[in-house]
């Protein structure tokens, strides 16, 4: 399966949008072209993925938080087009 090219930008481990916990929810920042929709999926096994959020990019960074992260001992996340 082929997909369109994507740009990967690694953010700092501190500051706005850095991956980490706020309270008991894990989150991270996502940026992309304003108006473009995106989907966040999560997995605990890397073999089965569950769509957990679909949104549109705005003019700035979108901050995503997973409310289920407090009940999962380990989660993996991916972002893509719906």
Confidence of residue 4 (pLDDT cuts 50, 70, 90): low
Q: Looking at per-residue confidence, does 22 or 1 come out higher?
A: 22
Over residues 24-76, the pLDDT tens digits come to 889 998 888 889 999 999 999 999 999 999 999 999 888 999 988 888 888 99
Main-chain dihedrals φ then ψ at residue 70, nearest 5 degrees: -75, -15
pLDDT band at 19 (very low <50, low <70, confident <90, very high): confident
b/e per residue, 43-65, with b = 16+ CB within 10 A?
A: eeeeeebeebbeeebeeeebebe
């Amino acid at each position: 399966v082929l997909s369109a090219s994507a740009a990967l930008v690694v953010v700092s481990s501190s500051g706005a949008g850095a991956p980490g916990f706020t309270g008991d929810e894990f989150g991270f920042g996502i940026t992309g072209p304003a108006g473009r929709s995106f989907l966040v999926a999560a997995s605990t096994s890397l073999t089965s993925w569950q769509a957990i959020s679909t949104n549109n990019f705005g003019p700035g960074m979108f901050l995503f938080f997973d409310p289920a992260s407090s009940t999962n001992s380990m989660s993996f996340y991916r972002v893509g087009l719906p």
